Amino acid sequence: MAKLSNEVIIHIFELQKTFLDITDQTTRIEFVIFEEFGETVETIAELEELQNIKERSLFYYDRFHVVLKRIYESQPVADRANLEWLSRTLNEAELTIDVIQASIEDIKRNWNL
């Protein structure tokens, strides 16, 4: 059976949790902005940005699920393409988290949240 090291698995699960936390945080911010300020010309761009952030977060969460499933279903060893896909996903996810968190902080600052 194809297996990854415990360290890699733990790192992936930590990234997935981070993406879930980002989804939760953006949903809460979106709710607060909508409730306090409504959907106006001033808020629409940031409400859309928050929606995009949630979609990106859930995209990476789901992508990790799919690639792990494919690797663990491989016999007798993981396919090189799936391992490369996992590596790319890890790199992209780590960079994406930094960008997303900066965007969230900007939005919070803009609305004094």
Q: Please give the structure tokens belonging to residue 61.
A: 């969460």
The predicted-structure confidence for 11-58, as pLDDT tens digits, reads as follows 999 999 999 999 999 999 999 999 999 999 999 999 999 999 999 999
**First-to-final CA distance of the chain:** 48
Mean pLDDT of the chain: 94
Domain containing 16 equals 6-108
Residue 80 forms part of a structural domain: yes
Classify residue 59: in a domain, yes or no: yes
Task: Look at the chain and report how many structural domains it folds into.
Answer: 1
Q: Answer whether 29's CB lies under 8 Å from 93's CB.
A: no
The answer to whether the CB of 103 falls within 8 A of the CB of 53 is yes
Asked whether residue 53 is domain-assigned, the answer is: yes
- 1, part of any domain: no
pTM, whole model, 2 decimals? 0.91
